Homo-oligomer: A and B are copies of this chain.
C-alpha cells in the first residue's frame, strides 16, 4: 500500500532538532514567499530567501516557480548561484537556466563540481554549447571531464567521480591517518580507502569504519577486503544499480579496460539511478517515453504523440476485425454492446502480467532458469480468473439480454481472451527481453493489440457461428 494515506510526518515537539532549512524539501509557503517578493520587486529579499535553502531545495524551488519568476531569480543570483544547484536541476528547467547563465558562468560551476556532477550539467547542453563551456574550463578539470564523457551515456564511467583516495598496501594505519590529516586536496566525501599497486590497479579496499577501529601500527594489507566489487567503466548503469543493491555498497571503485582504478561511484548517485530506472519502466508502461509535467506544451504533446499514434493504428486494426463482422452486429446489436467488455478485461489482465513481468526481469527474479515455470503459473492464473469472470459476465450478460445462449458465448469468449492475455502478457516481455529490447518499451502496445484483436474476433466469431 502507498503511504499517502498516513498523516504527514511532523517534528515530534518544539525542541525537535529538525532545522527548517534542511528538512522535507521546499515548502509551498517558501515558494509563495519567494514569488511574493519577486512580485513586489524586492529582488534582494527573494535572493536572501533562496540562499538560506540547501542547494537541493534551491533547485527544487527553481522547478516549482514559473518560467518568468525563474528567469528573474537566476538573473539576480547570477555569480552567486551555488554550483551544486545547477547539478540538482533536471530537464527543461536545467537547459533554460544554463542557457541564461551563458558559457563562462557555466564553466565556473563545472570546474567546481565533482566529475559526475559536471558531466550531468554538461549533458544538458548541445554539442556546440558544450564545446564553448569546456573551452573555458581549466586544462586539468577539462581532461577529467572529457575522460568521463568518452564513456557511453548510461555507463559506470559517466556516474563515477574521479576524486578518490588510494594508498599502497604496505602503509600502516598511522601513515594513512597522517596522510589524510596533512593533504588538503582530498575529496569531501569518501566511504572507503582504495588500496592500489604501483600500476594503479586496485588490490583491495578498507571501509572507513574498519579503518578507524584498527591500531596505528597495523599494516593496511592486513585489514583490507582483498575481494571487493570493482565495476568496469563500460558497465550499464542498470547493472551498476543492481550491484549496489545486491551487496549494499556505500561506494564502488571503477576500473578501465586495463584494470586501472579511475574513479568511484557513490551510493547517492545510484539511488537516483534506481529511482529513474523504475520510473522509466512505469512511464514506458503508461505510454510516456520521456516525461515531466514541467516541460512545455509543445514538447509534452510531441513526447506523447508517438505512443498515441501507435495506439490509433492498433485500434484501427481491432476495428477492422469488428468491421469484418458488420453483418453479425446488424443481426444482433447486443454483440456490439458486450464486445468492449471482452476486450477491456483482456487488456487489463494482460497489463497486470506485463507490469509484474517487466519488474521481475529488471530485478533478475525472472530468469532463464524459472521462465518455463512462470509461464505455466501465469496460464493457470489466467485460466482461474478466466473461469471466474466467464461465470460472472456470462450470468450478467445472459440475464441482461434475456438469452442464456448469448451469456454462454460471452463467458466463453471472456475465458479464451483471459488465457490469451496471460500468454501474451508473459511471453511478449520475455521475448522482447531475449531479443535485447527493453521489455517495458513495447510490451503494452503489443499486448493490448493481441487482447483487442483476440477479444473481438473470438466473441464475434462465436456469436456468428453459434447464435445466428
A80 proximal to B (CB < 8 A): no
Contacts of A312 in B (CB 8 A): 341, 345, 389, 392-393
Across-interface contacts of A357 in B (CB, < 8 A): 293
How far is B24's CA from A368's CA once the two chains are assembled, in angstroms? 15
Is A123 in the interface zone, CB < 8 Å from B? Answer: no
> Nearest residue in B to A204 (C-beta to C-beta)?
B17
Most B CB atoms within 10 A — which of A65, A207, A208, A377?
A208
Q: A19-B227, A209-B190, A282-B278 are in contact. Are A293 and B66 (CB under 8 A)?
A: no
Q: Measured between C-beta atoms, what is the minimum distance from A87 to chain B in Å?
A: 11
Contact A4/B436 with A259-B16, A304-B352, A381-B301 known, Cβ cut-off 8 Å: yes
Cβ A236 vs Cβ B9 within 8 A:
yes
Q: Is A48 an interface residue (CB 8 A)?
A: no
Residues of B near A8 (CB, < 8 A) are: 236, 239
Q: A259-B17, A268-B248, A365-B63 are in contact. Are A436 and B208 (CB under 8 A)?
A: no
Contact A28 B359 (CB under 8 A): no
Is B396's CB under 8 angstroms from A24's CB?
no
Q: Which A residues between 417 and 468 are near B, CB-CB below 8 angstroms?
A: 433, 436-441, 452, 456
User: Considering only CB atoms and an 8 Å cut-off, how many residues of chain A contact the other chain?
Assistant: 179
Q: Which of A37-45, A134-142, A325-333 contacts B (4 or more CB under 8 A)?
A: A325-333
B438-A5 in contact (CB<8A): yes
Closest to A354 in B: B286
Stoichiometry (number of copies): 2
Chain B nearest Cβ from A61, distance in angstroms: 9
Give Cα distance in the complex from A301 to B356, angstroms.
13
Q: Is the CB of A227 within 8 A of B4?
A: no
Say which residue of B294, B334, B337, B355 sits within 8 Å of A286 (CB atoms): B355
**Does A101 reach chain B (CB closer than 8 Å)?**
no
Q: Given B19, B235, B336, B348, which contacts A287 in the complex, CB threshold below 8 Å?
A: B348
A405 on interface, CB distance cutoff 8 Å? no
Say whether B438 contacts A3, CB under 8 Å.
yes
Given contacts A270-B271, A356-B293, A370-B64, contact A2 B438 (CB under 8 A): yes
Beyond A3-B238, A64-B367, A297-B377, 17 additional contacts (C-beta under 8 Å) are A5-B438, A13-B259, A22-B228, A31-B367, A181-B212, A191-B250, A245-B268, A250-B267, A283-B355, A286-B352, A288-B355, A293-B374, A293-B377, A297-B381, A297-B384, A301-B388, A333-B336
